[in-house]
Structure 1
Amino acid sequence: MKSIGGPLVCLAACVLALAAETCSAAGTLVRVKDITRVEGERENVLVGLGLVTGLQGTGGKNPITREFILNLTQKFGIRAEPELIARLRNDTADKSDNTSVVVVMANLRTGRKPGERIDILVSSMDDAKSLNGGVLLPTPLVAVDGQVYALGSGPVTIGGFTFSGEAASVQKNHPTTGRISNGATVEKETFAEPLAPGRIQLLLLNPDYETARRIAGATNSKFPGTAGVLDSGTVQLVPPPAWNGVVRDFAAEVQQLTVIPDNVARIIINERTGTVIIGENVRIAQVLINHANLAISTAETPEVSQPAPFSEGETTVVPRTTVDVIEEKKPLTIIPETATVNDLAQALNALGVSPRDLSSIFQQLKESGALQAELELK
Structure 2
Amino acid sequence: MKTTTRNLMILLLGTLLSAGVQAERLKDITDVAGVRPNQLVGYGLVVGLSGTGDKVSFTSQTFKNMLAQFGLTLPPGTNPQSKNIAAVSIHAELPPFAKPGQLLDVTVSSIGDASSLRGGSLLMAPLKGADGQVYAMAQGNLVVGGLGAEGLDGSRITINVPSVGRVPSGATVERSVPSPFARGDHLVLNLHTPDFTTSRRVAERINGLLGPDVATSVDATSIRVRAPRDASQRVTYLSVLENLEVEPAAEVAKVIINSRTGTIIIGENVRVSPVAITHGGLTVSILENPEANQPGAFAGGDTVVVPRSGIEVDENSGHMFSFQPGASLNEIVEAVNQVGAAPGDLMAILEALKQSGALKAELVVI
What is the TM-score of this pair, normalised by structure 2?
0.77
2:277 aligned partner: 289
1:5 aligned partner: none
Query: In the aligned structure 2, how far is the partner of 1:99 from the partner of 1:329?
Result: 65
1:47 aligned partner: 41
1:91 aligned partner: none
1:265-308 alpha-carbon deviations (Å, 9 max, x no partner):
33332222444333333333333333444333323222222322
1:278 aligned partner: 266
Deviates more, 1:258-267 or 1:149-158: 149-158
Q: Contact 2:35–2:181 at 8 Å: present in 1 too?
A: no
The counterpart of 1:114, out of the listed 100, 110, 135, is 100
Displacement after TM superposition at 1:24 (Å): 4.4
The counterpart of 2:351, out of the listed 356, 363, 373, is 363
Displacement after TM superposition at 1:35 (Å): 0.9
Query: In the aligned structure 2, how far is the partner of 1:137 from the partner of 1:18?
Result: 52
1:296-338 alpha-carbon deviations (Å, 9 max, x no partner):
3323222222322233332222222222333344412324455
Identity among equivalent pairs (%): 38
Summarize the alignment of residues 84-103 of structure 1 with structure 2, pairs less than 5 Å apart.
84-85=78-79, 101-103=87-89
Query: In the aligned structure 2, how far is the partner of 1:24 from the partner of 1:260?
Result: 16
1:323 and 1:207, CA in 2 relative to 1: closer, same or farther beyond 3 A?
same
1:95 and 1:36, CA in 2 relative to 1: closer, same or farther beyond 3 A?
same
The counterpart of 1:299, out of the listed 282, 287, 302, is 287
Displacement after TM superposition at 1:352 (Å): 4.1
Deviates more, 1:130-139 or 1:140-149: 130-139
1:203 correspondence with 2:162: no
* SS state at 2:131 partner: coil
1:257 and 1:275, CA in 2 relative to 1: closer, same or farther beyond 3 A?
same
1:148 and 1:244, CA in 2 relative to 1: closer, same or farther beyond 3 A?
closer
Opposite residue 345 of structure 1, the aligned amino acid is: V
1:4 aligned partner: none
* SS state at 2:283 partner: strand
1:187-229 alpha-carbon deviations (Å, 9 max, x no partner):
3222321444432221112221111111112112222212221
1:239 and 1:185, CA in 2 relative to 1: closer, same or farther beyond 3 A?
closer
The counterpart of 1:220, out of the listed 192, 200, 207, is 207
Q: Contact 1:338–1:344 at 8 Å: present in 2 too?
A: no
Bigger relative CO (Cα 8 Å, ≥ 6 apart) = 1
1:259 and 1:57, CA in 2 relative to 1: closer, same or farther beyond 3 A?
farther
Summarize the alignment of residues 253-332 of structure 1 with structure 2, pairs less than 5 Å apart.
253-262=240-249, 263-332=251-320
1:190 aligned partner: 177
Query: In the aligned structure 2, how far is the partner of 1:304 from the partner of 1:281?
Result: 63
* SS state at 2:257 partner: strand
Q: Contact 1:136–1:156 at 8 Å: present in 2 too?
A: no
1:247 aligned partner: 234
1:350 aligned partner: 338
2:220 aligned partner: 232
1:303 and 1:361, CA in 2 relative to 1: closer, same or farther beyond 3 A?
same
Q: Contact 2:195–2:220 at 8 Å: present in 1 too?
A: yes
2:134 aligned partner: 148
Displacement after TM superposition at 1:251 (Å): 1.9
Opposite residue 248 of structure 1, the aligned amino acid is: V
1:255 and 1:336, CA in 2 relative to 1: closer, same or farther beyond 3 A?
same
1:317 and 1:239, CA in 2 relative to 1: closer, same or farther beyond 3 A?
closer
* SS state at 2:43 partner: strand
1:102 and 1:20, CA in 2 relative to 1: closer, same or farther beyond 3 A?
farther
Query: In the aligned structure 2, how far is the partner of 1:138 from the partner of 1:116?
Result: 16
Q: Contact 1:122–1:156 at 8 Å: present in 2 too?
A: no
Q: Contact 1:54–1:134 at 8 Å: present in 2 too?
A: yes
How many residue pairs get aligned? The number is: 361
Q: Contact 1:110–1:191 at 8 Å: present in 2 too?
A: no
Deviates more, 1:203-212 or 1:303-312: 303-312
Give the structure with higher Rg (CA): 2
Q: Contact 2:194–2:220 at 8 Å: present in 1 too?
A: yes
Gaps spanning 5+ residues in structure 2: where? none
Opposite residue 105 of structure 1, the aligned amino acid is: H
Query: In the aligned structure 1, how far is the partner of 2:192 from the partner of 2:173?
Result: 26
